[in-house]
Amino acid sequence: MTRDAQPADPVSAAVAGAFRDERAIVLAALIRQVGDFQLAEDAVQDAFEAAVTVWRRDGVPANPGAWITTAARRRAIDRLRRNRSVADRAERLAELKRLDAQHMEPPMDDESTIVDDRLRLVFTCCHPALEMPARVALTLRALGGMTTGEIARAFLVAEPTMGKRIVRAKRKIADAHIPYRVPADEELPDRLRGVLRVVYLIFNEGYAATEGDRLVREELCNEAIRLGELLCRLMPDDPEVWGLLALMLLHDARRAARVDPSGRYVALDAQDRSLWDQDRIREGLAKLERAVRLRSPGEYQLQAAITALQIQAPDAEATDWAQIAELYGALGRLNPSPVVELNRAVAVGLAAGPAAGLELLEPLLGDPALERYQPLYAAHAELLSRGGDAEGAARAYERAIALSANAVERAELERRLGALR
């Protein structure tokens, strides 16, 4: 019942379609109604299992979402009758029975209730009191509709391990009373940043790693982009939500060019640009434009803008490095980090010449956080070499080579070192 399964018959296809389109909506409403994440999830699962049998016997209903809603609610009533541990059990049961009695085909919730329910679900799954891997797993399961097995495979852990992690998280939600609501205004910016971090982490897990099943990893990127699109629909007035979606789309557009046919990583300026997905790039640029119109810069927008400038230039030479340097400066002011400062130094070096770049880079050589950071020494070597200091450049390349864990990267550094002599 997953999105990549190939349904063999119309009933399976209808169930798979309802699972993809309706599950998160039904689940989000039911959690609010029963007040228990686990019980609601079990009831929704029951409903989908029942759908396979009943739809095969009676035909696919005209409104599959309404059918699933009713079936899940009735399963929840059954489960609530047996489960005494849920808080306010009697009130919850009465409310569910009232909803059930209202109509055979329940009136669907209005759009704003659906939006609110999904936001509640987002913020509960990404709650800071849950460990990060559990936030990721819950989000993928509850909002993305991935199964525990699929998530386990994507994160290269055993399925029982992932299952336990999810069960434990749901237990904590119940026992500690993690609220099922959208945070108050004063907490919202902080909590939203936490949600964006979860989504970007899901994307990077699919994008950055080169090990593991490639299809599974692509699925993670797609899932993260779908979550990004969902957040844009739910919170269209937040520029960072659009910025994150833009950033993911612009990275994803280059997915095919990032790895050569032998599976090796290819750096941006060496990538075959004909492999870039132009539709995705256009989509990403449109989202970035939408973000910028909201006139409140943030870290994802700035990163997306940097990526956009690199992508839009015909090659590394013609890239607008001065503007990229400025964007890195803004990013550093927002979120001070030696890595951002290094990137700024490199951009300045390309825009204003090696001496200007070195002036920014050299103070970083004493930063303990970067002591074993290979890109620092590679960038130092590059700037020294361009400034005519072959001897200094050779020493920096040697340092970078010693710190390099990746054979392809090391070979490239050795080639550059050789070219100095």
Q: Of 7 and 128, which CB lies nearer to other proteins in the complex structure? A: 128
Q: Of 179 and 418, which CB lies nearer to other proteins in the complex structure? A: 179
Could you say which residues in the range 187-226 bind other proteins, by CB under 8 A? 187
Does residue 164 interact with other proteins by CB under 8 A? no
Taking CB under 8 A as the criterion, the residue among 156, 158, 176, 316 binding other proteins is 176
Tokens of 302: 């700035």
Least distance in angstroms from the C-beta of 172 to other proteins: 5
**Whole-number Å distance between alpha carbons of 393 and 382:** 7
**Rg of the chain, C-alpha, whole Å:** 25
Number of residues in contact with other proteins, rule: CB under 8 A? 17
Q: Of 133 and 212, which CB lies nearer to other proteins in the complex structure? A: 133
346, with CB counted inside 10 A (0-12, 13-18, 19+), is: buried
Q: Of 36 and 219, which CB lies nearer to other proteins in the complex structure? A: 36
φ/ψ of residue 146, rounded to 5: -80, 150
Does residue 172 interact with other proteins by CB under 8 A? yes
**Residues whose CB is less than 8 angstroms from the CB of residue 166 and which lie 6 or more positions away in sequence, other chains included:** 134, 137, 138, 141, 148
Strand partners of residue 265: 259
Structure letter (DSSP) for residue 260:
-
Q: Of 157 and 292, which CB lies nearer to other proteins in the complex structure? A: 157
Contact between 213 and 153 under an 8 Å Cβ cutoff? The reply is yes
Does residue 179 interact with other proteins by CB under 8 A? yes
Could you say which residues in the range 123-142 bind other proteins, by CB under 8 A? 128-131, 134
**Residues whose CB is less than 8 angstroms from the CB of residue 239 and which lie 6 or more positions away in sequence, other chains included:** 291, 292, 294, 295, 296, 297, 298, 301
Least distance in angstroms from the C-beta of 14 to other proteins: 38
Taking CB under 8 A as the criterion, the residue among 39, 178, 241, 308 binding other proteins is 178
For residue 219, give the H/E element and its range: helix 214-234
Site map for other proteins, 55-94, x if CB under 8 A? -----------------------------xx---------
Q: Which residues of this chain interact with other proteins, rule CB under 8 A?
A: 84-85, 128-131, 134, 168, 171-172, 175-179, 183, 187
